[in-house]
Amino acid sequence: MFRKFRILILLLILLGVSVQTWLIDARIGSWESTVSVGIYPIAFDDSPETARFIDELDVESFADIESWFQDEFKHYGINLQIPVRIVLGPRVMARPPALPQGKPGIFDAIVWSLKLRWWASRHDDLGKSRSVPQVRLFVLFHPARDGEVLPHSIGLDKGKIGVIHVFASERQKRQNAVIIAHELLHTFKATDKYDPITLQPIHPHGYAQPDRQPLLPQRAAEIMGGRIPISLTESRIPAGLSEAIIGPATALEIGLKSGDQ
């Protein structure tokens, strides 16, 4: 009985957010005005180092993401001064609902995404004078330890929410921007262009220069391909957004016209 009641509540929430999502989607896909993107930092651990790192964040910390979108969009004929504006939200003290373990069924995945949307609506306040941004990215900062592997980040088109894992480290800041831009593009409907098992970018759409001779090594990454292919079996994470581009297939998915063709 209680489970049925919970499902009913979740369905009602879904109905409410669906209407809201539809309105936001229609505006974002046209790229006629700036899209506001909120970044809400969350400390993954209780260490003073992570807390200090978050305290020292400001919008400047994410300026390379804004300017990268501006440059890339210009390439596809979008001359908006600022296509994507990053707004820094307050530090969120709660954690987003955990992803279901293993390979979740469709039902579990839907319940989880509704829980996440509900949770996001409780933690997205920017204060009195600022309205809720169109895209909300909850960024979990992990202590930077050698060899540590970060959990999988996600960006959801439905609800325009991201849950992103990065390192709380000055040295990793430029690489963090790559991860944030990748997940942000998922919220704009871009799809992954790499093999989920090997993590190798898939040719041609996951390559920055699919026609390059010789093809390998590549010099840059297609942002949804995620990595720079070095050989058929090796690739590396770009050091920063200056080593990444939006390829024509991704551009088409997010509603830009394919400028290269």
**Contact residues: Zn ion, CB under 5 A:** 192
Q: Using an 8 Å Cβ cutoff, are 211 and 239 in contact?
A: no
Cβ proximity to Zn ion, 134 vs 153, nearer residue: 153
Tokens linked to 19: 């209407």
Give me the residue whose beta carbon is nearest to Zn ion: 192
Rounded to a whole number of angstroms, the distance between the first and last alpha carbons of the chain is 57
What's the CA gap between 19 and 15, in Å, rounded? 7
Is the Cβ of residue 133 or residue 206 nearer to Zn ion in the bound state?
206
Nearer to Zn ion, 206 or 248 (CB): 206
How near is the Cβ of 89 to Zn ion at its closest, in Å? 22
Least Cβ distance, residue 28 to Zn ion (angstroms): 18
For Zn ion, the closer of residues 136 and 227 by Cβ is 227
For residues 168 and 173, give the distance between their C-alpha atoms in angstroms, rounded to a whole number.
8
CB 127 to Zn ion: min, Å: 31
User: How far apart are alpha carbons 137 and 140 in whole angstroms?
Assistant: 10
Closer to Zn ion by CB, 49 or 192: give it: 192
**Distance of closest approach, residue 65 Cβ to Zn ion, in angstroms:** 16
* DSSP string covering 17-74: HHHHHHHHHHHHHHT-SPEEEEEEEEESS--HHHHHHHHT--GGGGHHHHHHHHHHHH
Quick check: 36 and 85 in contact, CB under 8 A?
yes
Q: Which of 162, 199, 188, 183 is nearest to 253 (CA)?
A: 188
Shortest distance, position 140 Cβ to Zn ion, whole Å = 16
